[in-house]
Amino acid sequence: MRAVLQRVTQASCTVNGQITGQIDAGFLILLGIEDADTDEDVQWLAQKITGMRVFGDENGLMNKALADVNGRILLISQFTLFAQTKKGNRPSFIRAAKPDKAIPLYEKMIYALKTLTGNEIATGIFGADMKISLLNDGPVTIMMDTKDKENH
């Protein structure tokens, strides 16, 4: 499972001209799911996301977590995070989980983040043609991969 966290001052997702989710300050999270991912990956990543201290404190240092700044989350499914670009110019998405595997894990991530933050999680629509608008704050963009949990 891969996530790209972007610290934002605002973000929204639109599908067919309708806003499906929007937030003010917080994280826009692009989430990629592969076949090897499990419930354990969901829990580990949700904990890491909510504990990530990348919001400014009184001295302008990145010392505060999402809850400390009353931040919100916009979670967007993004299978293209598993693009393989080694050969040719057309990426392969063979590692990305198919919807029957990815949708339940995506929904579990929504639930885990909601449980950890105590807030509703704004979302896009899985598999839809989404238009994402954001104002990246900093910019601060962090890539996370659950494969990294095995190295710590």
Say if CB 42 and CB 35 are below 8 A apart.
no
How far is Cα of residue 66 from the mean position of the Cα atoms in its chain? 13
Most distant pair of Cα atoms in the chain: their distance: 49
Would you state the structure tokens that stand for residue 98, as one six-digit string? 């198919």
**Residue 80 annotated to the active site:** yes
Q: Residue 37 and residue 145: Cα distance in Å, rounded?
A: 11
Say if CB 82 and CB 91 are below 8 A apart.
no
Per annotation, catalytic residue among 9, 80, 85, 115: 80
Of 36, 49, 15, the C-alpha closest to 123 is: 15
How far is Cα of residue 95 from the mean position of the Cα atoms in its chain? 18
Active site residues: 80
